[in-house]
Structure 1
Amino acid sequence: AGWVHRRRDLGGVIFIDLRDREGLVQVVVQPQAAEAYREAIRLDPASTMARYSLGRVYLEMRQPREAIPVLREALRIEPGFDPAAAALGFAHETLGEWAEAKEVYRRALTDDPNNREFVERLAQAEVRSGNTPAALELYRRLLGEHPRDLNIRTRVGLLLLEQKLFAEAVEVLQGALRQDPGHPDARFYLAIAYEEMKRYEEALAELRQIPESARNYAEALIHTGYVLGQLDRLEEAAAAFARALLVRPGDPQVLYLLGVTQMRQKNFPRAILHLKEAVALRPDNAGYLYQLGAAYERNRQLEEAEAAFRRTLRLDPKHADAYNYLGYMFAEEGINLEESVRLIQEALTLEPNNSAFLDSLGWAYYKLGRLDEALRELLKAVQHGERDDPTIRDHLGQIYFAKGMVPEAIEQWERALSLDSANEAIRKRLERARGLVSRGGS
């Protein structure tokens, strides 16, 4: 099984470089050969080789539709002629006719069940047509028959990753590395398996062994940055993304990841710089625009933030986070409060039980003085939260305090401080409320 690596038409003679797992071979095609093979078929209608050769010429001339009937006829004359079956399957693949290609390979395997080439061709067709479970079954069969084949073992590991069978992928890929400790693909996929299992230190150890000469070195740097970010080693994460940019200058994904990391470092000017570059390269990427808006907001560039969020929503009218962020930003600033409510309600239409969105809506109601509605939404936010959140508890405390329910406010601020002990603003609110109680206030 192979593919066309490069095709050059030099006026009457076509040079085609074909690549497969064994390497590269050059085929020279003269279009007038098609006429010669057609004449051969006219002289000998039963010639399988003439029909096969004509089909190959059509394929090499990028005319798969013309090749198909010729190759089918070759197989009708000689059903077990493997080269014609391989070429016919390839013609259907070229046209994206995966069901037809797979049927050709299955018929060939009916005649010769142990034909490795057709098992591989069928497995690759299953992969390309999106049927990963079927492809995995076929590659597992090949691995059982050829346990020392590193390419097959690595492919099995990759398919196991795609099926989220991470523990089995680790076992298979570790086996590949025992055979060849320098196999960069096996090591990279093993790192990804560890990453998916949140075994970040082990992922990092594998990623750092991938050499600069490896084809996936840039991807390894990107994953290194991600893993370091998960470990909260933000300076090292930013350095890894910066190194990835040296390998892939101007890569929008890397610029985006570097910008997000710099936001986590609270280096908002640098984050904005890199996120703007990412957006300039991918102006239709709503996710990049949204993060740029967030960086502007954190840097107190509110007009720019609003513009970025509105552009995000024009690109993706179902971007719930953008509705919420813009609405919450308005609420925090005490501006456009009616629009703030509408925006957050739109976010909740998309994600009705999102505790952060419920908190935002409650906060917008609070800023409007609609305290009963604010309390209702904040209590729902607490109910739907996956974890106790100090911001929600703080907001709930402020609403209780505004309603004159000081003991309830104190309870919420105490819980907020237990979750965020360094928050001085909450501590001051709590001390004020306790002072009121000690003086007999309510």
Structure 2
Amino acid sequence: MRLIWNGIVASAVAAALVLPGAGQARSLSGAYLAGIQAEQQLDYEEAARYFVRALSYDVDNPALLDAAIRAQVARGEVSTAIVLAQRLEETDTNPLGLILQLAGNVRDGQLTPALETLSNPQAQESLPLLADIWRGWLLINTGEEEDGFEALRDLALHPEWGLFGQNHLALAHVALGDYDAAAQVFADLDPVTTTLHRFGTRVRIEAQAKAGETRAALDLVDTLLEGSIGDVELETLRAALTDGNPVQRSMAGPMDGFAIALFDIGSQLNTGRRSEALLYLRVAHFLKPDLHEAALLIGQILEQQDQFDLARQVFETVPLDAPQSAEARLGLAAVYQSAERDDEAIATLSALAQSYPEALRVRYFQAEALRVAERYEDALPIYDQSVDLAVAQDRAFWQLYYGRAVSKHLTDDWPGAEADFRRALELRPDQPMVLNYLGYSLVEKGLKLDEALGMIQSAVEQRPDSGYIIDSLGWVYFQLGRYDEAVDPMEQAVALEPIDPVINDHLGDVYWMVGREREAEFQWRRALSFDPEPEERARILRKLDIGLDAVRAEEGHSVAN
């Protein structure tokens, strides 16, 4: 399922160099290379613009077409990509081009030509899994249901892809309204470890409910909610099942199977091959615009790639009355946070909280957004509401107490903060973030230093690659007066977080206390170059002026300590 053509850069540049006219060659190569640079930076809008410009000089160049097609799909212009794919001479050896050709056939209702295309062994080799799934759906949609189901049953026996076959066999029964048969197929699948994605889970619950297996559907919802800080869609489903209300249908009919197959593969690729997953998910969303789970994944990928405008656009395609609306708004808030637009993130979450006042997940993320924006006083009552909601549900989550503890600490309520940190540790005794924050805070306050050291040592054992936690270990040694022991962890911390001003400053202090004063001054100057907070800057400048011993004496510390 490899979508990127090996050697594309070399082939396109070579094509540019043989074009007649040096000026024209420079224009083509310049546009192409600019497109490649934009693509490497995951700027799909710019990549598409440059590749289309390059195509204007050589409209049938297969490497340029391939690059332009990828960029158009990634930015969500699948219709444009289908038109470009029609100009590829050989689609059977170009997986994305082949997918687009088939997607165009499905969109236009040309199912027989699509089935003929997939009969080609070369096409099956290019898209081994997708070809098998789509063949089953094509047969079902062209009236050959028995053959289509047989094809999916055969796939269900595949040693590697059997899960896909079983899921699509069940989905085919759902699409045709045979919920009893669907529930029987789902019954053979472990509901937690083998569910492919959120959509598949929802359809499974829907099939169980409509087959009269309401108790099994409720048990699955409860299993999925266990350990999570809420889920608006699942909670809404649970309320509908409990009240005996109908569950909203997820599949309009068997034509949906084509999009879901692409979504299945894209969901699996998302674990490590995001850019490739994005292409599958974009085509899936194109074929089934109300496949909102695809929009959620696309938005998450784009947000992780710092393509904030594209991510925002796709999250906003999910309508407010859709079951996935709350998750889409949470995703939108995450985009705003990643783009450092905290006010818009908070406004989005506040509006969502008004729509779902009893939703623990929404309240928690609202509190977290306020904390990240350093609005600790505003965050505290929202954390309180989150804790109250969890208690009312007879549930407890360490994350709620940790977030509230940090906010209390930063609003000078240390007794309240320590109590919440310790409550978080009761719920998750070995949680490294809690151990590190509480241990570091105790060190900073000069309290319970031996206990703090044990906490931080435990945190380091669990997160040996975290520069911030290793910095805490070095700093507790420093506060205990064990300066020689502080050197190694502090140097490790700086190696892991080389541009953090606080960690560099700490290493400077440790060097000073072991007599390495020139190295200490170098580290302090490095810390200054990384834009420390004003108070820290002033202290570093003072250390450079009169030395750490004098500064500590001014602060009331004993130099020997």
Question: If the length of structure 1 is used for normalisation, what is the TM-score?
Answer: 0.63
Structure 1 residue 319, shift from structure 2 partner: 0.8
Counterpart in the other structure of 1:426 = 537
Query: SS of the residue aligned with 2:317?
Result: coil
Structure 1 residue 229, shift from structure 2 partner: 0.8
1:152-191 correspondence to structure 2 within 5 Å: 152-154=258-260, 156-164=262-270, 165-179=273-287, 181=289, 184-191=292-299
Structure 1 residue 434, shift from structure 2 partner: 4.1
Q: Report if the CA contact (8 A) 1:259-1:275 is conserved.
A: yes
Counterpart in the other structure of 1:32 = none
CA distance in 2, matches of 1:356, 1:402: 21
CA distance in 2, matches of 1:170, 1:351: 31
Q: Report if the CA contact (8 A) 1:218-1:247 is conserved.
A: no
1:18-417 correspondence to structure 2 within 5 Å: 128=191, 130-131=193-194, 149-154=255-260, 156-164=262-270, 165-179=273-287, 181=289, 184-282=292-390, 283-383=395-495, 385-417=496-528
AA in 2 matched with 1:341? L
Inter-CA distance 173–277: structure 2 relative to 1 (3 Å threshold): same
In our comparison, the structure showing a higher alpha carbon Rg is 1
CA distance in 2, matches of 1:168, 1:330: 46
Query: SS of the residue aligned with 2:429?
Result: coil
CA distance in 2, matches of 1:244, 1:158: 29
Deviations 1:339-375 (A, max 9, x none): 2212212222333343222211221122222221222
Inter-CA distance 125–290: structure 2 relative to 1 (3 Å threshold): same
Structure 1 residue 213, shift from structure 2 partner: 2.2
CA distance in 2, matches of 1:185, 1:376: 47
AA in 2 matched with 1:376? D
Inter-CA distance 368–250: structure 2 relative to 1 (3 Å threshold): same
Q: Report if the CA contact (8 A) 1:337-1:368 is conserved.
A: yes
Counterpart in the other structure of 1:66 = none
Q: Report if the CA contact (8 A) 1:393-1:412 is conserved.
A: yes
CA distance in 1, matches of 2:279, 2:186: 21
AA in 2 matched with 1:410? E
Counterpart in the other structure of 1:94 = none
CA distance in 1, matches of 2:360, 2:260: 29
CA distance in 2, matches of 1:329, 1:276: 22
Deviations 1:222-275 (A, max 9, x none): 111111111111111111111211222121111111111111221111111111
CA distance in 2, matches of 1:357, 1:196: 24
Q: Report if the CA contact (8 A) 2:262-2:283 is conserved.
A: no
Structure 1 residue 301, shift from structure 2 partner: 0.8
Inter-CA distance 153–169: structure 2 relative to 1 (3 Å threshold): farther
Inter-CA distance 269–199: structure 2 relative to 1 (3 Å threshold): same
Structure 1 residue 190, shift from structure 2 partner: 2.9
Structure 1 residue 302, shift from structure 2 partner: 0.6
Structure 1 residue 379, shift from structure 2 partner: 1.8
Structure 1 residue 382, shift from structure 2 partner: 2.2
CA distance in 1, matches of 2:546, 2:293: 64
Q: Report if the CA contact (8 A) 1:330-1:340 is conserved.
A: yes
Higher strand proportion: 1
AA in 2 matched with 1:200? F
CA distance in 1, matches of 2:192, 2:469: 39
CA distance in 2, matches of 1:125, 1:243: 41
Query: SS of the residue aligned with 2:302?
Result: helix
CA distance in 2, matches of 1:190, 1:436: 53
Structure 1 residue 185, shift from structure 2 partner: 4.6
Query: SS of the residue aligned with 2:374?
Result: coil
Query: SS of the residue aligned with 2:464?
Result: coil
CA distance in 2, matches of 1:338, 1:179: 61
Q: Report if the CA contact (8 A) 2:259-2:288 is conserved.
A: no
Q: Report if the CA contact (8 A) 2:442-2:448 is conserved.
A: yes
Deviations 1:160-200 (A, max 9, x none): 22441533443334334444656645434432342344433
CA distance in 1, matches of 2:547, 2:279: 63
Inter-CA distance 269–310: structure 2 relative to 1 (3 Å threshold): same
Structure ranking higher on relative contact order (CA contacts 8 Å, 6+ apart): 2
Structure 1 residue 119, shift from structure 2 partner: 10
The CA RMSD over aligned residues, in Å, is 3.8
Query: SS of the residue aligned with 1:280?
Result: helix
Deviations 1:108-150 (A, max 9, x none): x9xxxxx99889985896584644689x9xxxxxxxxxx9923
AA in 2 matched with 1:290? Y
CA distance in 2, matches of 1:124, 1:199: 40
